[in-house]
Amino acid sequence: KAGVTQTPRYLIKTRGQQVTLSCSPISGHRSVSWYQQTPGQGLQFLFEYFSETQRNKGNFPGRFSGRQFSNSRSEMNVSTLELGDSALYLCASSSGQGTGYTFGSGTRLTVV
Amino acid sequence: AQSVTQLDSQVPVFEEAPVELRCNYSSSVSVYLFWYVQYPNQGLQLLLKYLSGSTLVESINGFEAEFNKSQTSFHLRKPSVHISDTAEYFCAVSDGGATNKLIFGTGTLLAVQP
């Protein structure tokens, strides 16, 4: 059974640009969440999607957005990149409430 | 709001010694509790979870954690650690509500020395 796949693994962008990260969940998992991990702030919840609907959103500015497609694949977008957006972005999928998430290996975004 | 406290940012320990990584959470309502492990340049791997039932949960690689409702704790223990256990360990809580949102602690680096 394939795990959670995130692409790309590494990304370097310039301030002001926008970026799109992709996540393919485990087959059959309908819940997908995104987290940002930085040395200073740790792991912070970005948003959760379930059956193409955003079910929950963390405390991030509107520059951060996401969506989920009918096949449960998800994308997140960050517009007008800032240096502080440099982080490891983790996607995770789940088969149901309370079952825990399976995480992908993450996308390392560096903003220069 | 939910919060998770991992008091120890780093725990150095010698190989084959026992270890305990501490985790306390804030909520008194029904919660789901998790421990995740992160190796360098990798994502998070689920180590073990408590949903309900027996308060002692075990993982396949010798770790165990005990849910203590009165002390709102979910400490992780291993009786004998190996070099390969060196990693960052994160405690997380979900409130079991309509969403699966996880609140993470700040992590504990377990540094196993030979």
Q: What pLDDT does residue B63 have?
A: 96
Closest Cα in chain A to B51: A98
Q: Are A33 and B101 in contact (CB under 8 A)?
A: yes
Residue A33 touches chain B, beta carbons under 8 Å: yes
Listed residue (A28, A30, A29, A60) closest to A47, CA to CA: A60
Averaged pLDDT for residues A98-110: 90
C-alpha angle with apex A105: B81 to A85, nearest 5 degrees?
115
User: Using the beta-carbon criterion (under 8 Å), do A42 and B107 form an inter-chain contact?
Assistant: yes
pLDDT of amino acid A1: 65
Are B46 and A42 in contact (CB < 8 Å)? no
Note whether A31 contacts B: Cβ–Cβ < 8 A.
yes
**Planar angle of CA A69, A75, A79, nearest 5 degrees:** 135
A78 CA: distance to closest CA in chain B (Å): 20
How many whole angstroms separate alpha carbon B33 and alpha carbon A55?
Answer: 20
**Chain B positions in Cβ-Cβ contact with residue A101 (cut-off 8 Å):** 44, 46, 100, 102
Residue B103: list chain A partners with CB under 8 A.
45
Q: Residue B16: its pLDDT value, please?
A: 97
pLDDT by residue for chain B (114 residues), tens only, comes to: 788 999 999 999 999 999 999 999 987 677 889 999 999 888 999 999 988 888 888 888 899 999 998 899 999 999 999 999 999 999 999 876 666 788 999 999 999 999
Q: What is the pLDDT of residue A98?
A: 67
Q: Cα B6 to the chain's mean position, in Å? A: 9
Within 10 Å of residue A49's Cβ, how many Cβ atoms?
A: 25
- Average of pLDDT values for A57-85? 96
Q: Which amino acid is at B102?
A: L
A16-54: per-residue pLDDT in tens?
999 999 999 999 999 999 999 999 899 999 999 999 999
* Cβ distance of A42 and B45 shorter than 8 Å: no
Q: CB neighbours (10 Å) of residue B72?
A: 18
Is the pLDDT assigned to residue A70 strictly greater than 70?
yes
